[in-house]
Every structure is written in C-alpha cells, then in structure tokens.
A and B are shown apart, each in its own frame.
Chain A
C-alpha cells in the first residue's frame, strides 16, 4: 500500500535534517573554544543526531529516494534516469559552490585546516544532496511498503 508524502512535509523534513547537521557541527566547533560543558555538548549533539536520523528516515529512507540515487542506471527506467541525472547535475553545482565558499573563507581568515566535523558534514552532504533535490522538487513521492 503506497502513501503519498506531500511536498510540504518533504521540504520540512529536508530543512530539519540539514539544520540538525548544522547544529551538530556548530556544537562541536563552538564547544572547544568556548569550553562548553561536555555533558551539555553531548546531550545537544545526541538530540540533534536523533532528530536528524528521524528526518533522514522519513524523507530519504521510507521514500526510497536514498536507494534511487544510489542505484545503478541499468536498474532504472528512463524517467528515473532523467530525474537522478538532473539531481546529480544540480548537486554537483551546489556542492562545488559550498566547497569553494569554505576554501575561500578559510583562506581569508588564514585557517589552514578543516576540522573533522566540517569534513564529516561535507561527506554527509555529498551523499544526501541528490536525494534532497529530488525530494524537494518531485511532484509525486510515495512511501512504499515492502518491495517495489
């Protein structure tokens, strides 16, 4: 039995997912120099992680969008190939722009290293961007139960 997940719900889920990622990165970045209480830091990060996980599951996992963008083109039909190709095209542009912003920002403030939280954030972003674009733009996205 398939249920449609509305565009509004998907977009909210995407925003929540990205905000939780940004919150985790900020917590880790701000925790060290400002000497925040470790327990508070961990609680905050864990909370954000749980929220991020729930939003990931509802927007990308249950909708099978995560699987769609990671499936070989041989297993997709022509419309799916077109959708995935477009999402990868836009993802490439967005990801490059973000990388360049970080690189130039680091160059301007003369910061020579990128910490593990930022690197981890970019790794997650690289994997999630194509699915985000599809979830944001597609007219019809269904939550399927069982095998498709």
Chain B
C-alpha cells in the first residue's frame, strides 16, 4: 500500500522521538487527512507522481526527497475550506479536510464593518507579502541599486501596504487618454426604425411602409399623408448600445471600484494614489455618460466582437477589463500558494538581513526577475545561489541558497543531496575567507507558514534538541549543520524571537514595525549563528 504521511514540520523525518512524533507527523491510515491551519500542508508519500488533486496531476509542489523511497509535496490551501478535496495518491483515494482554515474573503472590494474576520486578516497578510515581492518589479528600473533600495524600503518603514505597480496604477496612467477619446466619440451604429416622417424627409420605404401607405385613404400621396403630411418611412437613429460600449461601461464601473479600493482612506495622498483617485473619478463620469446614452453593462463572459478585437482603443479597454477581472483569479492563486510565497519572502528577508550586517559586502547576488504570472506561489525568478555576502568585520563568507531541489528522474537512495531531506528551502553555507581547510557549515532556514503565527515554546526546545542530539543518528546529514532558524509570520505588531542552543525562532511581519523588527532580529540571529558556524 502506498505510504502517506501528513507532516506538520519539515524536519519530522529526523525527529523520531516518541513525544514529538505525534506533533510533527501523522501516518495516514484511513481515507481522510485532517489538516490544521498552524502549518503548511506537507504530504509525504512514496507514490512516484505525488498527489493528484481532484484528478489533476502537477497541482502540488515538489519539496524534495525525505528518504530512499519517499518524497514530500506541498499542497495548496483551499479557497473554500468547507469543500473537501479528493486526493489520489498511488492507488489510494484520500479525502483532504481542513479543520480551522478560514475561507478566502469573497471580494477585496467589500468594506468590512467592525472586527475583520480571520479570512480577511489572512488575505491581508497574503497581499502584503505579495506587495513585498512585487517591489522587486518596481525597483528594477535601476537594477544597480536593487538590493539597497529593497533593504531601505523594508527596514526604513517605507514598506507600503499596497503595491505601487498595481494593475490599477498602470491603467490609471495608460488608459486616461483612451477613455477621453472614447468619451468624445464613442462608436455608434445607425439603427433603422419605422417612424412617421414628413414627406420631404422620406428617403426610403420598405415593404412595411408601403403596406401602410396603400392602406391609407386618398388617391394622391398628399391625400394619403393626411393632415399632418407624414407617412411611415424608415428613419435612422443613432444608437450607442453596442457591445463595445457595453464592455466600456462594464470596465469603467469595475475600474472605479478597484480604484476606490486602492486609494487609502487618509487625507494626504501620494502622487500615485492621487493619480488612481482621479482616474476613478474619470471612470465614474464616463460610466454616467454612457448610462445616459442608453448603454447597458456587459457580462464578464461576453465574446468579443470585431471592434473589441481590432479597434486599438476598444481593444486596449477590452484587455484592461480582462486584467481587472483577473485580479480575482490572482488573489485566489495567492491564497492557495501563500505558504510558498512565504518561503520566497523569507529568502529575500534573509538576504536583506545579511546585507544589513555591518561591514557586509555582497560578493554575488542572483538576478531577480519578477514574473508576470506566478508559478505555484513563486513570483521571482532567481538562480542558485541567491547571494554570497562577505562579512568583512567577521571575515565570514555566507552563501545563501534558495530553492527546492529539482525532481530527479528516478528515486534512488544513494543520491539524496545534503540536507534535501530536511526540506529547508533556504540554506546558508558559511566559511572563512582564505581558510582553505575549514569545512563549510550550513545554517538551515525553515520559513514556517502558520495561520496564527504562534510558536509554542516547547517546540523551540524540541527543535533545539533535534538539532543538537539527532545528528548522531543521521551523522552523514547533519554533521555540518551549524544551526536552524524557523521564521513564522508575525501575528501582532511585534516581532518575537527565542533561541535555545543553535535553534532560533523568529516571527516576521510583512510590513511596518513587525517587518523592521523582524529583520533586525534576523540579522542578530544570523550574526550569532554565522560566528558560531565559522568557528570550527
């Protein structure tokens, strides 16, 4: 039978002690897995293709091999936690349930009254993490100073709540001229209608008008036209209610909504926010104009017509509308893969903290490219190593690697690379410059996603014990581990830290004070661990 474990902690494999075992992993025997919301859902199985969610392969993220037969996979969070998903793993069929995971909030436009729900708060955190990652794209215009600016933003309290290059900002800049043009001369069609027209204005008679005409009493045309001297004919009326204008109306309404949501509720606005605000107003007035002209709103599922596809202005509107509609999808994806985005954010945080250490000089840093479209929670393209920093005061070199191992073609026992089974996405190798003999040691960083962001103290102790004692059992693997850092999302306005032996624990926020403090704490922890690591 295919073996299936549900892991709470990525180091569950080496943590074999009876007392902790119950907390770190669970062997799935029946047909159900229950996940709780205080950890990322890691599923360990010996099925070669991994879990198949709702009949789809490739919907879970490969984390690495934990032993000679089994691999670990990260599952996405459900947008609606009440809905159970079915997993096919090998020949087994498992129902995946979520105990205390909130639902993703429906729309980001809805203004919450009173205390925000857990789901809204979580979504808020997700968005802030995304905003941090998004800053890479904003700063890319001057790549020479990318890391400095990133560090400046994160530690300088300049970290915004909302991304500066949000789609609506782009559109506010690009779409204005187009909306002005379309407002001046929206496309119109001339519709043929029947109307009683004065004889002099008649240009066309169709069958219906002729039938009408011959039924009129009188012999001459003048007699038939009656005392008002009008007969039925074809009139052409301007009509604006075309598909492209309906889409334009739908777009302006949506853009107005998104713009309202983007602009924060405070008096002093930044220029970008002002831009979005005035764009929102422009959209509102255009929407009103269109409604006055008798345009109705298009449904999101309309098929584009020729004008929408080929008229440059209307096509831009069409594309922009699609992108705004896609926001919902982006947020859903963000929600599903928030655990992975957290990994990525923590990797950047480690680099930022390292470079903040006095005397730190970057020897090499990986190119950072912001993806337009995420890949299972990953927003940045990076290379390994993510960065190499020389701490000149301590004369230490720290090499940060971020990323999961590539999935091997075949699963064989002998070739598991160092530390892969510990499932730490961020690894820091440290050593001294010029010391050709010193062995390089590694600090493992586990970004540990959690809903509430709390960390029971006893687990810190367990982790420390694991790092200190367990290496004897798995000598080959842990011989050179200099320490471990667990980073979990901060739940409140402070960053907490705890350290026992070489195991450190830290809560880190995605913006504001918890971010600044967290980075500061992370820096301190890194200095200590690196110094210790470089000792022997």
Please indicate whether A and B come from the same complex rather than being unrelated chains. no
A residues touching B (Cβ–Cβ < 8 Å)?
none
B residues lining the A interface (CB < 8 Å):
none
